[in-house]
A and B are shown apart, each in its own frame.
Chain A
């Protein structure tokens, strides 16, 4: 189907973007890479009066490192993130996630900010940002504010962004020594949204788990922290028993509703499968490193 009629405006700076947003009002929407929004418009799931194109605002693009943080401009494409040596070295979780997002032709346009602001509960990047304890930087006409990734997602396609705000950057702590970052998802076909997935960040000091962030996607209305599973791992050696305990604990962390891929019981089973696979991979990686 064809999209409904709307006004197209292109912003060249952030000031320009806020001016255009004020001009077109509540029913105007930001257009970043458009890889979800334009598909939604083709289905007429949304009928904005105007699209304000922010894809050519240079200040929204790029990847930089400062001390313990990597900053990714919200307008940076998924393809660019996937090809970044900085990301590969310092945020391996994202390097692993990017190739799983749709396909090359889509990653060439789709942006990280767009993916986070769109907030599809089955998308990889929102869960990654929660697991990485990223900070999302939002800007509106009244100024800038920082939002912890775990507080950003409020439901299906719903975020903490105000109507006139947009994401400008994402700050991500770089991987620490003793830390493993792993993403596991189950899809019917390559590039599909996941039936179930998990972004896992586990750190060990002197052989004991000192930090665990396990964030599910496609298992709730937003990225879901497996808090009980995380707690069950702390202070333990990562072995088969610890994994079994975490996988059992995780069942208390989720309450998935059914979707096209299966009912709640199926989703709960898949949640256990992805967590077990993720933790086993971390266990094996560590054994290889130690050997």
Chain B
């Protein structure tokens, strides 16, 4: 960034199981902290005002918009990104279903779609297509590949039974 004095705060967070301590600009969003400071480019950033859902990550186990959370506010929190949940294998079946159904077209919305779908399946193991659509409605796919995405989530839910 710049060399002029900007306001900053010290934080320590657990990111994908690893303890990280950094000095972050007060105004920096979580998503920019993850991408630019930690190099975790799997979470994407698009609209930067909470509408598109591409920056969805987990904070303390709950999905959030990475562009609507200040990194400075997260001292002591646990953050999980697509890199972390891919490594643990937690959503391997969901990822496989996305691949099998070609539910990732350009791929830009995919990491956030996966985390949002995983959140749905964690709370509702047997969702209807309508419920899947509703839960994913805050995540935009600009390829408009929703049909395949809903199919992949539905397939995963059925396979998990």
Contacts and interface: CB of A to CB of B under 8 A. Distances in A.
Contacts of A105: 53, 56, 62-65, 116, 138
A3 B27 contact: yes
Contacts of A4: 27
Contact of A43 (B26, B49, B53, B69): B49
A13 interface: no
A104 B58 CA distance: 12
B48 interface: yes
Interface residues of A, number: 31
A157 to B, nearest CB: 16
A51 B48 CA distance: 19
A5 B7 contact: yes
Contact of A34 (B62, B70, B116, B137): B70
A108 B29 contact: no
A143 B137 CA distance: 42
Interface residues of B, number: 32
A42 interface: yes
B48 A1 contact: yes
Interface in B54-82: 56, 62-65, 67-70, 72-73, 75
A1 B75 CA distance: 24
B96 interface: no
Nearest to A2: B27
B83 interface: no
Contact of B69 (A103, A104, A109): A109
A35 B72 CA distance: 15
Nearest to A1: B48
A106 B47 CA distance: 15
Contacts of B48: 1-2, 42
Interface in B1-45: 6-7, 9, 25-27, 29, 32
Contacts of A106: 50, 65, 68, 138
B101 interface: no
Interface of A: 1-8, 10, 31, 34-35, 38-39, 41-43, 51, 53, 55, 79, 102-106, 108-109, 189-191
Interface of B: 6-7, 9, 25-27, 29, 32, 48-50, 53, 56, 62-65, 67-70, 72-73, 75, 116, 119, 133-135, 137-139
